[in-house]
Structure 1
Amino acid sequence: MPDALTPLPDQLIEAVTWHDEQTRAKRVDRMRWSSSLKPEAGLVFGKPEPLAVLEDARASFVNEYYVAAIMTATAYIDHALGTLLSRRKFKPQENTLSARIRAARRKKILTKDVLNRIDTLRKIRNPFAHEMPSDHPMNLGNRVQSEARHPQAILEDDAKEALTLMYVVYAETLMKVKLSTS
């Protein structure tokens, strides 16, 4: 038997319906924006984990889960840099995103600008993934103060950058395969 604090199923449905109606237009805008980034690839084969992370990053962004979008987009980039490096028969000594970025610089796998942006994204991601001192400049609270912006606006911009970079790296991982018709 539900207690007084437990909403009844009809109330939950009403609340979800109301929320859906209130957020639908912005979700559609985010869906359109994120869809514009994805390169046309046709049929894609690959390891299921990075492909699942790629889709989760996009879905998180569409649904306004910006930290999740940043985390999953960065995870995809980490996977993809590992793939790009292994195609060149190179494995960094450390299994970290930072080491993969350094190795990608040495092997000139991506442009300097893209790798600099990925490194900035890594620094933005770190306070969400690792314990950082309260005075760390990339902590969200410190960024809110230094940028004089609302945290949600900062996170949305960070998530947009994360998705943009994720799809740039994704495009680099695609290999054209000629299928035999005989």
Structure 2
Amino acid sequence: MKDIKHQMHIDELMGVIREYDEQSLNERAERYAFLLSLENGKENTMFHGEIAHLAFFAAGNAYINAHFIGSVVLAQVVIEHTLNQIFFAIGEDMTRESFPNLIRKAEEKEWITNEEHEAFSILKDIRNPYVHFRNPLNKHTLLKRTLDSGKEQYEILEEDAKHAITAMYKLINKTTF
């Protein structure tokens, strides 16, 4: 008896999922096209570590499916793990360094440009209030940014995710360090 009830419940849930899929298909396709526009055309992207590799695909999937906060957090995971792996490979242990110090040192080594450093710093500023509680009226919170800009929260979240994904691709598309 339990299996029949369970299957009925699964069938109902599948209907809900199908309806969501149909309603969100165009937006997801547009976000997927945006991701593809960021690729540099290489088939063999080099990932520096398994976490960076897994987080890269998870960030893309999160973005496509409008899980924008997840894509922001995962994009920084990719950047941080990638840079740390490269430092580790040359014998420099940066694992206890803050993200700002990590990207500053990467710029000093000319692994990233000033423009990339700035994009990564902005990503950190975007990510922090999602990960760490802030006074709701702190200038970096989603609430305050929504109030100040007059934009919908969804629009700000999507803009944040676009910035994060673009910053991530700037690093992943590099061929040498």
Q: Determine the C-alpha separation between the residues in 1 that align with 2:89 and 2:142.
A: 36
**Which AA in structure 2 matches 1:100?**
L
- 2:158 partner amino acid: E
1:79 Cα shift?
1.1
| Counterpart residue identity of residue 139, structure 1 | T
Offset of residue 91 of structure 1: 4.0
Shift of 1:87: 4.9
| 1:102 partner SS | helix
Counterpart CA distance in 2 for 1:154 and 1:52 is 26
Q: Which residue of 2 aligns with 1:180?
A: none
Superposition pairs of residues 82-93 of structure 1, within 5 angstroms: 82-87=84-89, 89-92=91-94
| Aligned counterparts of 2:92 and 2:139: Cα–Cα separation in 1 | 33
One-letter identity of the residue aligned with 1:36: S
116, 119, 143: which one pairs with 2:118?
116
Match of 1:96 among 98, 104, 115: 98
Contact residue 92 and residue 103 of structure 1 kept, 8 A: no
TM-score by length of 2: 0.85
SS at match of 2:103: helix
Deviation per residue, 1:47-87 (Å, 9 max, x gap): 22110100000000000100001010111111122234345
- Measured at CA, do residues 65 and 93 of structure 1 come closer, stay the same or move farther in structure 2, by a change above 3 Å? closer
8 A Cα contact 1:38 1:167, kept in partner: yes
- Could you tell me which residue of structure 2 aligns to residue 105 of structure 1? 107
Aligned residue identity for 1:41: K
Secondary structure of the residue that 1:81 maps to in structure 2?
A: helix
**What does residue 34 of structure 1 align with?**
35
Partner of 1:149: 151
Percentage of matched positions with identical amino acids: 22
Unaligned runs of 5+ in 1: 2-6, 177-182
Provide the C-alpha distance between the structure 1 equivalents of 2:35 and 2:117, rounded to a whole number of angstroms. Answer: 21
Please list the CA deviations of residues 17-70 of structure 1 after superposition, one character each: whole Å capped at 9, or x if unmatched. 111111111111111110121223333454221101000000000001000010
Q: Following the alignment from structure 2 to structure 1, what is the Cα–Cα distance between the partners of residues 14 and 173?
A: 40
Cα deviation, 1:135-159, whole Å, max 9, x if unaligned, reads 3211111111122111110010111
Whether 2:58 is the aligned partner of 1:56: answer yes
Please give the TM-score of this superposition, normalised by the length of structure 1: 0.83
2:5 matched to which residue of 1? Answer: none
Q: CA deviation at 1:106?
A: 2.5
- Give the 3-state SS of the residue equivalent to 1:125 in structure 2: helix
Residue range with higher mean Cα deviation, 106-115 or 47-56: 106-115
